Each structure stands twice: as C-alpha cells, then as structure tokens.
Structure 1
Amino acid sequence: MVKKLLLGVLFLSASIASAQDYFFSKFQPFDSNIPSPEEFLGYGIGEKHTRHDLIVNYLTKLSEVSDRASIQEYGETHEGRKLVILTITSPENIKNLEKLKTDHLQFTDPAKNPSNYDEVPIFINLGYNVHGNEPSSSEAALLTAYTLTASNHPEILNYLNKGVIFIDPTINPDGRDRHTQWANMYQGNPLVADPQDAEHNEYWPMGRTNHYWFDLNRDWLLGINPESRGKLNWYHQWYPNVVTDFHEMGTQSSYFFEPMKDNGSMNPIMPKENYVDLNNLFGDYFSKALDSIGSFYFTKEVFDGTYPGYGSSYPDLQGGLGLLFEQASSRGHKQTTAFGEITFPFTIRNQYISSITTIKAAVENKALLRKYQQDFFRSGVENASKSKIKGYSFKDTNDPNRVKAFVDKLLLHKIDVYQSGDGFVVPTKQPQYRMVQTMFETYDTYRDSVYYDASAWSVANFYNMKYKPTSSLDLGEKVTSLDNLVKPSPVQKTKYAYIIDYNDYNAVAVLNYLQSKGLVVSSSSKPFTAKTTDGNKNLGYGALVVPVSLQKISSDEVYNLVMEAQKKYQVPIYAVNSGYSLQGIDLGSRWISPVTKPKAAMIIGDGVRSYEAGEVWHLLDTRVHMPITKIPVRNFDRTDFDKYNTLVMVSGQYGFSKKQNEKIKNWVSKGNTLITIGTASKWLIDEKIVEESLKSEEKDSTKIIERKPYVNAPENLGKESLGGAIFKVDLDITHPLGFGYTDTSIPIYKNNSVWLQPSKNEYATVAKYAKDPHIDGFITTKNLEENLKPSASLIVSKLGNGRVVLFADNPNFRGSWYGTNRLFLNALFLGDKIRIPE
C-alpha cells in the first residue's frame, strides 16, 4: 500500500560513537546531573534494542534526579510488565499539576465556559510502540525524555513552561520484549544487513502483538486487554489535546505523517476541523522539520482514520488531535534496501524529530487546540439536542452477564448509563455524545470503499444487544459501577438436582468449572419447565442439569461446588427436588445427556493467523478458565492427536501434505470434533476433507472487458475485499451450536471472502445470512447480492463418526464479539451432541 520514495544518502549508517550529537546536538547545553540514555544504559541509542525494564528504570531515574519530571504507573500487562507514563513540564508546573489539571478539564465540560485558552499549558501525550516489533519509537522516547529533562536550550524551556508532556514509552511491553530478545539475539558483529538474515525475520507470532496476540492498536475502542483498559482509565483523567501514535512500516518505504488519505479520513461524526484544518496545520510543521535533516516522507496517500479504535483516532473522539507516524523499519539494526542501508539510529532520529516537533506545534497553537477541544464537547451536546433521537434503550433479561459486559464497555468510555426498570438507557445529550454514536449508530453510505481496517464498529452489535433509539427518556438511577448489576438468587441446597440457565453468557464457564471439579453435568436438547425452590422456571435449549445422587461425592460437596460456581460467575442456578417437569421433558429424559469434557487443542505457528489463534486462547483463558493445548505446526507429525477430542484450526495457510491431511481426516472420523474458522474452513473444502462446497463464481466468457486506467487498480480491486462489516444471520436455536440463544436473528462480523455454500443436508446449515442481511459497514452490491446472501455463515459436516464445524466468519473477533462467542463455545463443549441425520 505504501508508496516507495527515493531515500538516497539518508540511509547511510549513522556513527554510533557520536550517537548523541546525531540525535540532539542542537538542544545543548544539557544538565550534567541528568544522565543521558547512553550513560545510563551503557550503550548508545541505536546500538541495541532496549528492554522494557531498562526503559522504565531510566524514566524512573529521570523522575528521581529531575525537578521537571514525575512518573506514574497506570497498569501492567498480561505478563506483569509495568505500564508507566513520565510527566515532564517546568518545575513550577509540576508543583501545580493538580490545579493545571482542574483548569484543563474545564475545557472538556460543556457546562463550563472558560476563555483563558492561552493561559493554561497545553497537554500532550507522546505514545510509543503499540506494535512491539516497531521498536524505533521507544528508543526515541528515551531521547525525548532526556531532552526535556536535561536541556537548558531556550526552545525546550519554552515548551516546558507552556506544555505538560506525558511520555508513554511502551504501550505494548510484552510484544516489545519478545521482539527485543529476537533482534539482540541475532545481532551480528559486524552487523549483517542482508534482509534474509534471521535478525530481520522474526518467527511466529512475532512481536507485533501482546501476550494473547492482540493488536493493541485496535483495542482503544474495545478495551479488552489490561494495557488498553489502563490507558483508557488514565486518558479519561487527563484528556490530552494532542496524542501521537508512532509506528513502523515496510523497509523499502520512507516516512509517513498525517494528513491521511483524503477519502478515508472522514469518520462521519468527526468535525471537519480535525481531519482537515488541524492535520494540515501540524503537517506543515513535520514537513519543515524533516526537510531540515534531509528525510523523505509522504502524506495523504494511505491509511484512514475512520475506525475509532486506533491510537491516532480515539483521541479525535475526545476533542484531541491524534497523529499517526509510520517509519520505514530497519527490522533489526541495519538492513539493505533498494536505496542503500537503513539503520536503526536513522529510524530513531525521524521519530525523535517528530516527537519534538509535535510539542513545538502544540505549544505554538495551544489556544487554537484548547478552543477546538472546548467546541468539540460543546458541539456534541448541541448536536444531541437537535437530534430527534434522545437516547438508546437496551436490555436482555435472558442474559444479564452479557448485558453487564456491555455496560462495562460504556462506563469504560465515560458514557452515562441509567438503569430503568429491567433495562438500561443511554441519553444522547451528554459530553460523550460522539462515543454514544460510536456505540449505537450504523451506516449504509460511505465516502470511501477501500478501508485500512474495519468499516463497521457499532459496538452494541458486538454484544448482540437488542437496542432501539428513543425520542423520550425515562431515566432511572445512574449506573456508576458494575456492582450488583447481576444479582441471581442464591442457589438453595437439594439432594436431587441443580439446573443451570444456559442462556447466560457465563453458563459455559460454570459448566467448565464443575467439570474441572469432577462433576458430571448434562445438557438438555429440548426446553422444559421445572418446579424449583425459586418457583416455576422455563428452561430453554441447552439447560444444564447436575444430578446430585449420580455424583461420586456427597450432596454437601456437590452443593459447595455449585455455590462456588455461582459466586464466581453469577449465573442463575436452581435447585429441584423432583425430576418431574411441569411442561416438556423430565430430567431423566433421553434428551438430557452428559456433556463430554473437552480435551481441546489448537494448531498454531507459521501460516496460522495469530490474531484469531490469540482470540481463542484469550477467550478460554480469561472468561472460561479452560486450558487449550497449543500445537505448533512444526510438531504436527509427532503429535498424538488421540489425546484430544476437539481440535481448533483458525484462518491461515495450511500447507499440509496429503499424508497429514489424512491424519486429520482419520482423527475426526473416530468421533472427534474439528472446528475451523474462516480460511481454514475454505482449506478443508479445497482439500476435499469434507464434502461441502464453496460458492462458485459464475464467469461470463462473452462479457467484454472494459479497459481501465492502471493507476486506479488498487482502489478498484481493493473495494471488492471485505474489510469488516456487520451482517444479520438466521440461526437455528434448536441446534446444539445455537443453544443459549433465544432469538433466531443475531449479528455477525465478516472480514473475509469465505463464501460457504449451504449444506446439502437440510439439518446441517446452522446459520445462514438473512434475506436482508446488512446492518453496518461497507460491502459492494456484487458481494452482497451474489456472494453473501446465498451463503451460509455456519455449517456442520459429518465425517465418519465425527463432525467438522465450519465457521465462515470469526465468532471471536478481537475478543469483543460476546454475541457470537457462544457459537464457538458450543462447538467446543457440545460438539459431540451433534447427530447429523442422513
């Protein structure tokens, strides 16, 4: 996607010996009492890749020896690494930081009307290294921190007086350290610039992602991971005016800064001043700064800021200015390109120059930026007042834990939520109006057709939340915490049986918990009405039954386990003293049978899409608390798959041999369950492992091909790919894969071109796209009419005594699709319940 530009002599190696002068000689004199990064680390910036703990230690040292700096820990990663922000400003500002914060927040409150735009220091958040294997920016963070704490140059002192700079040196420490270890481990002496050297070619899953292989630059909106949740909590305390988002791109490129691609920058709810006026204003600063050191760059050609979950787009929805930077990567310490050699110090210098220039531009335009932020929040409330929609109401009494998860997402973004009766209301007239729009609004017209990422992000649909706009409000009590949102009646003791309501999102976690403790749990394939100690209860498909007398432990021990499960997961559990149902099947029915405990494995490694594999791992680890064995592709031949009864294959390119394909086929045929997602489903069909088919494209050989300009090829072809949109499917809720759903219509997320032909078996198509499927996001008319509508989203294929569950779409996308997680979990836990009639 990225335009290649001549870099000329700029790729010549920087002299490590004079590293400090190479970066910031213009900002002398420096305070000798403040250690430089080189003095602290024992090596010059760019000589090695710096571990995250050393980065934190250096910033901590600066906070100890400089009266301009203080450090704050805002969270920790999955692997326990600290997430920190170093605040740097003048000594006077540091002493008065809380007052400055109060003064600053006045501009984010539509009820206030301050006009001292030029008197309050501007708040700037320099964010670095959200992708762990794009390491140059964290090194630049060290240089920037040193410059701001040690330089006594008048230019720097002016910035400190007029600005408060928050340095977040490593947004993704787990990924960074994974890459740092790789780059330093394979570093040669002398350096090896050959692009084929191991140093420049990480092994799967590489360092881009966090512990669970999530792309944290997509997580600002979704807030799934602790790195993002910590940063969001910090962000909503400070509301910085300018936020940077530093990245790296292909080695053969140059340098990118905003403005972005003209027709891809328009979030429909974003003020035009943001993506036109402010981006162009700052762009002039960056071009002059990079021109001064001879660096080549480009703007406006690529990238879009529509998806609100980037580090460069989320700040735009908070009255700030998010700024994206992309530096051609050395992918190690030195690498040969078509234009010479690109070095690690060179990449660091561009990021450092852009850091200082961001501060310069923000300070010199602080009144403008403050007025813009004030107008942003004020116009949000004004727009809400003009709209006929006064709020959104939502509820789902069948699944309170899924509702709770959605409310948690709203509160994370400081959206006001009220509990009204058995449901919830979100008023539109509030400071976070544009975030309310982001959560609920859907679109069917678009300026662009080629998206860098998602074209749909109505988060309520992620949670399968039944919501509706309302023109009148009946506000109840404001929700300020998640405590007591879910309050199931405490389960009573019985010596007969316990019944678990399977409609609740956490029911699968309860099932796993009880199975892990050795209890036998059964699942009902038909609904029934039971007389419980809490009254008569209607139980739907999939209701779980724990027969007390059939367990190997005492009734007291069973009760204690059931109580522990309820306390842990807050799921409705009922006690019954008789197996005789008021309606429907009885508890001894053949339609109620034991659930086989999953012994699950997943193929990972080269060729496998790490994002999707990480989503499966994260779901099972953090919500179900169930282990899954991750089997590297390289170990496939020596793996004994008979140890497992369930195997997961996510999207990827599986280059298995015919013998290896037979190994998979034979294993499934023994009675096991294979679950495939996306292109893994396509691969199974292409390899004829299952007797299903893909939708074939009919080609008209008589059609005359229209000649088109070559330069338009990327745009014309790109729009045919499905970047990410939301569609409606019709779900068979009587099928084991549909257990726990009460509505046959649910939203799904599609971001691939896998078009499954509905099964020839009339009972095997579990989910098919609806007649009018479009909910949100861009899709061409051709794809909608010819590919999507005739296709299936989820089918099951019989293979010997086993079965293959084929997902066309990813039910676990970005850890956020609570609405479709159940489909995947049902495949894991209830796969062997599927009997496909022949």
Structure 2
Amino acid sequence: MKLTHQIKYIFLACIFPIFSIAQDYFYKDKQPFNSEIPSPESFLGYSIGEQHTRHDQIVAYFIKLAEISDKASITIYGKTHENRKLVMLTVSSTQNINNLSSLKEQHLTFTDPNKTATNYDEIPVFVQLGYNVHGNEPSSAEAAMLTAYTLIASTSEEVTQYIENAIVFIDPTINPDGRDRHTQWANQFKGSPLVSDNYDAEHNEMWPRGRTNHYWFDLNRDWLLGINPESKGKLKWYHEWYPNVVTDFHEMGTNSTYFFEPMKPIGSQDPIMPKENYKDLNNLFAPYFSSALDNIGSFYFTKEAFDGTYPGYGSSYPDLQGGLALLFEQASSRGHLQDTDYGTISFPFTIRNQYISSIATIKAAVENRVVLRKYQQDFFKSAVNTTLKKGVNAYEFGDLYDQNRNKAFIDKLLLHKIKVYKNGKRFVVPVKQPQQRMVQTIFETYTKYRDSVFYDASAWSLANFYNMKYKVVPATNLNEQISTTDDLVSFEKTEKSNYAYILDWDDYNAPAALYHMQSQGLKVAAAFKPFSSMTSVGEKNFNYGSILIPVSKQEKTSDEVYAIIKETQNKFNVPVYATNSGFSTNGIDLGSRNFQKLDTPKAVLLVGDGVSSYEAGEVWHLLDTRVHMPITKLQINDFDRLPLEKYTTMVMVSGGYKQLDSLRQKKIKNWVEQGNTLVTISRASKWAIDKKIVKENLTKKPKDTTKNKKVKRLPYVDAGENIGRERLGGAIFEVDLDITHPLGFGYRNRSLPVYKNNEVFVVPSENPYATVAKYTNNAHIDGYISIDNYENYLKPSASLIVSKLGGGRVILFADNPNFRGSWYGTNRLFLNALFLGNHINVPKVEK
C-alpha cells in the first residue's frame, strides 16, 4: 500500500506541472480561477494542444460546466448527418443567466422595426462565438473550451466585467462529423517524439479529408443555402437570438501568420451590406485584435485577402441580420507540430491565437455595446423605411406545374424569416419587410462589380437556383401570409384503377416516386411524347416523361399495385392519376410505342484521390436525401475490381483521373459501347474529351491574325489580379433547353438558368439532335465573367450534349447541375440522365 501511494505521488507530481504550464501558456493573465470548476486539462486528462480532442469529449466538458456552474446553460440545437449533437453553451453572470428570458425579450426589441428602445447600455451585448466550421481546422474548437473555462472559472475583475455585460453563446464545433474525421487522422498518426516534417502522414489527410461534413459539403458556404442539418439548426437558433457579434474561426496555409478583419474591399459595386458594417464596425474592432496579438508577439495581416461578398459565409450572413460578423484565419499546424519557413508551428500556438482573439472579441463587444445595439436597431428600421427602386415593390413567383419545387423554395424563404404571401396559385414577397436585404439577396441579379476577383461565388440569386420564374408586382396584392408549408402541396388522392396509373413527371419529387415504385417491383414506362387522357379527376394533359404504370402488366394483383401507388403518393406527395382507358383524347395512346419501359437504374460514382469531393458529395446527397436511391461509391483505386457489367450508369465528377490509364479508359469505353451511359460533370467532361473517350471538342478562342502584335507591358504587382480576372468563380447563365429531349423531360420552358464555376467550354455537337442545352446569345443572368470568357468561350458553347458511343452514350455536362445541393432547377437534368439515359439514342446523321 505504501508503495502504491508513493507511485501515485510521483505520477501526480509529474502531471500537475504539465497542466499548470499549459494553463499558464493560454490564460495566465486571467487568474485567479475558481478551483471548483474543472479546467479542460483536468477534465480531459491531457494538456490542451497535446492531442486533438474528439467532439463528444468537447460536448461532455460543456455539459459538465453547465451542470456545476450557475453561470452556464447548454442547449442542443440539432444533430449532424452522423447523429452527433450540435450544442450551444450560454455563459454569463449568474444574474444574467437567471434573467435570460427577460434579457432576450429586451434584446429582440432592437430587431423590431415597429418598436423604439433607447436603453442601449442597460442590456448585455449578445456575442456568439462560432468555431470549427471546417473540420480539419481544429485549433478553434480547442480554444472554445479554454474560452468557456475562462468565462466561467476566472474571478478576475476583467472577466467578471465581461460576463456581467455580455451574454456569450459558444458553439464549439459547427462541423462535428468533419472534425472527428480529422481528429482520428491526426491522433492516429501522431509521433512520439512529434514529427514536424511536412511530408509526414499526420500532416496529409487522405481523401476526402476532414474539411467537409458527412456528405462532403463545405458548411461555411451553407448559411444562405441552408441545405444541411448543421446549417438548418444554426439558422433556426440564429433567428431566435439575433446576436450582435458573430465570430467565424478558420485556419489557412501553414506558412501564413494570422488574419483578422477588415478584409479586402467588398467586391460588389453596390453591396447589400450597409457600409457602416464593413467600414466603421470592422475598424472599430480591429485595434482590439492587434493589441491582443501584439501582447503575445504574434504576427498578423489585414485588408489584403478574403472578402465578404458572398452572403452565405459565417462571416457574412450575420452582416445581413443587423450583426457584426468577424472572420479569423490562423496558420495551421495540420497536426501537432509542423515545419514552416520560420521554424516550426505547434498546435498549442495555433490554439492560443484563437483563444486570445475570442477574449478580445468579447472585450470589444462589451466596450462598444451601445454602438452595436444602435446599429442593429437602425439596420432593421432602415429595412422597412428605405426608398425602394422604382417600381420594385414585391416579387411574384410560382410554378403552376411543380408544387414541390414551389414548396422547397418557400421553405428556404421561411428559413430566413422572409415574409411570403399567397396570391391565388402564385406567391408574393414584399420588398419592404425586416428581411428586406435577404429579399434582395434572393431575387436581385447583378452585372456590374467593383472588383473582378472573388474569393468564392459571384452569383447567388436563389430564385435562379430553383428555376423560379418571377416578376415585379405592386405590393398591394397581399392576401394570406404563409407561416408553414406543411399543407402547401395538395393533390387529390389517387383512386383505384384496374387499368393504369400515370405519374406526372413535371413534379420535382417524381424521380423519387419513380425509384420507390421500381424498388417495390412495379413495371413502368415513360412517355416520349405528350398526350391527354381522361383520369379520375377529369381530362389531364401530360408532358414529356410522364410515367405509366400499367396494372395488367404487373406481377402483382391490382390491390397490391394500388397499395404501392398510395404509399408512393403519401410518401412523396406527388400527382398520380388513375385512368380506366388506354385511349387518349389527344396525342399518343397508352399502348403507343412512344412509351418506353424503364429499367431500375444501377449507378456507380467514382470517388477518391484526384476527384472533387464537393461534386461527388453533391451527387451522393441528392440521391440519398431526395431520391432515396442508393449509389455505389467506388474508390478509384479499386477500379480494376469493379464488375462494370453490374451497372447501367457511371457518374464522373470533376477530377484529374490520373489512375485511369489507357487500359482503364478502354474498359470504360467498351462498357459504354455495350449500351450503357457515362455521365460526366464539369471537368470530367473535359477529361472525356481530352482522352478521346468521345469525339467532341472544347471551344477555342479565335486566332488573332494581327501581324507583329505587340505585348502590352503591365506592372508585376498586378499579375495576380489580372490573371484572377479570367477565373470563373461562379456565375449564372441562361441556356436554351430542348424540352423534347429525354434530358429535358419535365421542363415546360426552354429558358433555364444554369450555374457555371469552371472554364470548361464545349463545342456544340456536329449532330443537330445531340446538343441538349446551349447558352443563349444574351446568356448572362448574374455574377462576374470576363469579357474574353463571355464572348469567345461561353456564348459559342454548349452547356449539355450527348455523344453517341457504339450502342451507348456519354452525357457531358459542361456545368454542375447539382451545385452545393441547391440547384433544384437543374437537378432534373441530372436525374433524367440517370433514369432515362439508357433510352437516349442519338440519331445518326450522314455528313
């Protein structure tokens, strides 16, 4: 027993100094601390920065803090795709926590344009600290634990003042799925002693890496789009609290230093964001960050990088909600210790900078809370008192043929607290409302920009994402306000038929309904010409692609068929009609050869090194979450093991595909020639052309025949800007779509917005029937594109073509129809490729 006690004493003597040193490194100046509150080190059993902390450990620590301290409470605001908890720790003084409901009510008064409050200095400022939106940028989540501990445990006069005058909401891990993917990687490859060599496995994650969430989405682009549960939960929380300040902590290249705002000047010529935000408030906070970092000897930069033009970042969305959003970027150790041009950078060092900036943010917010509250109040009042552009009072929209796409669009508007009204079969959004700037964001388009180099997309008009045609109308036609879309989609329940059922292919949910019926064993056929038929609800006109379910052709009884039809309609809320006759009142009859039987698609998606995880994730997400259709994700290194004959369709997204040598290319080509379908997206289409999988061409700029052309000298310092000007970061263009082509089935209008964020320009096919979508002469809708790219490359090009290859075909998308899970308007093109692709037979034309 005595020996055991002696060993225990030696162990504790070794461990506690380590904890003490680690703690002093981060927050020595915040002492003394309440000994009853466990530090992160004592709770976890290791020093912060010694290893990467799993998300569940962070959550457990926050739960413990909320349990033992009356200065904190914890809320679960959602769950990730992988069922990890999304938590928010609220920290303030005991009195503020006890009176939080009352303080919240008073705080929200400043967001109500119909109310006027003047007690700017009497209510604590609301600060939301957001960390780790990119999973493999881990330092900030560790700093979140240090910040929470400091605010709760420190009894210093400085920290006491902060929690008396601020309500601090700490979101430690915005992207838990990605964080844990990276945490596992970094910890499993951690060496002892630490290995700082940049080439060590610890510093080089394997595909798809930890930046993204479960479906490989970049959640820092999802605030506006609101596609993923992480973002939906955060947006719901956000619009409940409207914090005055929001932080967005990131990491960047290992050889960088540290960045805080102000950013580079905003790219838009006429920004929606008030200039008081990006000029006055940013400059007000910057001295706090520089002073804090100067005190610990950290180097940093401002103004020359990043931009807040796109409103979907964590560092820009709050700027359109009356708050101040702040971006921080820390040079990453990408592990525990890594070499840089100036020596090594350690994980604890990166954590300390993020922690110091967190505390500096709270200090700046507390000392400028009057300015922040007055700004928030003016922001929302100006939204309803602003002078509108001439004649732009409201926007009317609504697709008469696609109720589920209407619903999806309105769901997005409601997610952002935009007021929507029903006007007959259409809908109206008035411009003058508290969310006026979000209305502008979603409907307005732009052609002029102050800057031509964007950090990300330059176009984000969501109405175009959804292919939602709209027009400007007077705001007087406001009837019933829509508060929920639960009952927005309404179809008559299908009656039983012993003859046939018809599914309307125009509806966004039709592909999901089709796959469900196929998976239940029903035989179906698609109409390759339109027709009119008498149904249980009267005469009905059916568009190209309408799905026929003949009862007598099934291997099931009519009752079993009807049960599946009812289940399908209830699950997907789609228009399905019963008919008792094959004779059509107009167009083809139900026994026509223009109805073609559809086999259940069996698709494979190539993933892995060299493949765009973003685009691959978009395909996976679409099929998983909306179509409920499985797709095989094949690691490209396993390609040789793949029995291609099992599959009807292969999808290739942007990538280099260096692993696919000439023999493997021939294997793909032979498989297509046997009657199958290869679908290529964006840079994969360029790959298919370059590797001569198809006999198509990329658009080339006309040759300049000017003799003795002189090269104009330009300043060296401008090279980056000039070259970047030719990059197409993301813009929206109009195409003319052949709606009689199987890929165009389900569309009623030939004009279709598409999203382009690449320099893949494809020459229209020499076959007059094979160019499905071509950019129009006046194609530009929204976003930046250089004159050279627009005139010489885009306008002469095709957006979508089908290239015949033996008995099969290659469907080449020059653009991305599934961009960020948000392009409801062009998803149908891709889904048609999966469900109808094997029925596309490009007619042979003699030259």
Question: What residue number does 2:834 align with?
Answer: 828
- 2:120 and 2:171 map into 1 onto residues whose CA distance is 26
Question: What residue number does 1:38 align with?
Answer: 41
Question: What residue number does 2:618 align with?
Answer: 615
Corresponding position: 1:203 with 2:203:
no
Contact kept? 1:266, 1:305, Cα under 8 Å: no
Corresponding position: 1:478 with 2:481:
yes
Shift of 1:386: 6.7
Question: What residue number does 1:134 align with?
Answer: 137
Structure 1 residue corresponding to 2:50, chosen from 39, 44, 47: 47
Question: What residue number does 2:26 align with?
Answer: 23
Change (3 A) 1:568 1:453: same
Question: What residue number does 1:643 align with?
Answer: 646
- 2:377 and 2:20 map into 1 onto residues whose CA distance is 47
Corresponding position: 1:310 with 2:313:
yes
Contact kept? 1:768, 1:792, Cα under 8 Å: yes
- 1:632 and 1:219 map into 2 onto residues whose CA distance is 27
Question: What residue number does 2:662 align with?
Answer: 658
Question: What residue number does 1:667 align with?
Answer: 671
- 1:265 and 1:831 map into 2 onto residues whose CA distance is 41
- 1:90 and 1:259 map into 2 onto residues whose CA distance is 31
Alignment of 1:557-636 (within 5 A): 557-636=560-639
- 1:543 and 1:417 map into 2 onto residues whose CA distance is 31
Shift of 1:263: 4.5
- 1:337 and 1:352 map into 2 onto residues whose CA distance is 22
Corresponding position: 1:729 with 2:729:
no
Shift of 1:472: 4.0
- 2:626 and 2:122 map into 1 onto residues whose CA distance is 48
- 1:633 and 1:708 map into 2 onto residues whose CA distance is 44
Contact kept? 2:236, 2:415, Cα under 8 Å: yes
Question: What residue number does 1:298 align with?
Answer: 301
Change (3 A) 1:50 1:29: same
- 2:587 and 2:576 map into 1 onto residues whose CA distance is 19
Render the CA deviation track for 1:673-709: whole Å, top value 9, x for unaligned: 0000000000010011100000012343742111111
- 1:661 and 1:547 map into 2 onto residues whose CA distance is 40
Change (3 A) 1:267 1:128: farther
Identity of aligned residues (%): 67
Structure 1 residue corresponding to 2:234, chosen from 226, 231, 234: 231
Structure 1 residue corresponding to 2:688, chosen from 680, 684, 691: 684
Shift of 1:16: 7.5
Render the CA deviation track for 1:74-97: whole Å, top value 9, x for unaligned: 000000000000000000000000
Give the secondary-structure state (helix, strand or coil) at the position aligned to 2:128.
strand
Corresponding position: 1:349 with 2:352:
yes
Shift of 1:266: 6.8
- 1:341 and 1:533 map into 2 onto residues whose CA distance is 75
Partner amino acid, structure 1, of 2:805: L
Render the CA deviation track for 1:8-47: whole Å, top value 9, x for unaligned: xxxxxx9887110000010000000000000000000000
Corresponding position: 1:448 with 2:454:
no
Question: What residue number does 2:336 align with?
Answer: 333
Give the secondary-structure state (helix, strand or coil) at the position aligned to 2:86.
strand
Structure 1 residue corresponding to 2:823, chosen from 814, 817, 825: 817
Partner amino acid, structure 1, of 2:663: K
- 2:313 and 2:774 map into 1 onto residues whose CA distance is 32
Deviates most, 688-697 or 814-823:
688-697
Question: What residue number does 1:143 align with?
Answer: 146
- 1:153 and 1:787 map into 2 onto residues whose CA distance is 63
Shift of 1:832: 1.0
Structure 2 residue corresponding to 1:515, chosen from 514, 518, 528: 518
- 2:843 and 2:491 map into 1 onto residues whose CA distance is 38
Shift of 1:389: 1.3
Q: Which runs of 5+ in 2 are unaligned?
A: 1-16
Contact kept? 2:267, 2:449, Cα under 8 Å: no
Structure 1 residue corresponding to 2:378, chosen from 375, 385, 395: 375
Contact kept? 2:654, 2:681, Cα under 8 Å: yes
- 2:476 and 2:780 map into 1 onto residues whose CA distance is 28
Question: What residue number does 2:396 align with?
Answer: 393
Shift of 1:388: 3.0
- 1:383 and 1:833 map into 2 onto residues whose CA distance is 54
TM-score (normalised: structure 1): 0.98
Question: What residue number does 1:269 align with?
Answer: 272
Alignment of 1:548-559 (within 5 A): 548-559=551-562
- 1:383 and 1:748 map into 2 onto residues whose CA distance is 32
Shift of 1:57: 0.2
- 2:486 and 2:813 map into 1 onto residues whose CA distance is 36
- 2:619 and 2:336 map into 1 onto residues whose CA distance is 34
Give the secondary-structure state (helix, strand or coil) at the position aligned to 1:636.
helix
Give the secondary-structure state (helix, strand or coil) at the position aligned to 1:108.
coil
Question: What residue number does 1:6 align with?
Answer: none
Number of equivalences:
825
Question: What residue number does 2:162 align with?
Answer: 159
Partner amino acid, structure 2, of 1:818: Y
Render the CA deviation track for 1:91-116: whole Å, top value 9, x for unaligned: 00000000000000000000000011
Shift of 1:771: 1.1
Contact kept? 2:384, 2:432, Cα under 8 Å: yes
Q: Which runs of 5+ in 1 are unaligned?
A: 1-13
Partner amino acid, structure 2, of 1:467: Y
Partner amino acid, structure 2, of 1:801: G
Question: What residue number does 1:753 align with?
Answer: 759
Alignment of 1:461-472 (within 5 A): 461-472=464-475
Give the secondary-structure state (helix, strand or coil) at the position aligned to 2:626.
helix
Question: What residue number does 1:7 align with?
Answer: none
Contact kept? 1:728, 1:769, Cα under 8 Å: yes
- 2:597 and 2:287 map into 1 onto residues whose CA distance is 68
Partner amino acid, structure 1, of 2:436: Y
Contact kept? 2:266, 2:309, Cα under 8 Å: no
Give the secondary-structure state (helix, strand or coil) at the position aligned to 2:46.
coil
TM-score (normalised: structure 2): 0.97
- 1:780 and 1:691 map into 2 onto residues whose CA distance is 29
Shift of 1:267: 6.5
Question: What residue number does 2:6 align with?
Answer: none
Give the secondary-structure state (helix, strand or coil) at the position aligned to 1:617.
helix
Contact kept? 1:378, 1:431, Cα under 8 Å: yes
- 1:263 and 1:61 map into 2 onto residues whose CA distance is 42
Partner amino acid, structure 2, of 1:686: D
Question: What residue number does 2:10 align with?
Answer: none
Partner amino acid, structure 2, of 1:778: Y
- 1:298 and 1:32 map into 2 onto residues whose CA distance is 38
Contact kept? 1:267, 1:306, Cα under 8 Å: no
- 1:35 and 1:17 map into 2 onto residues whose CA distance is 13
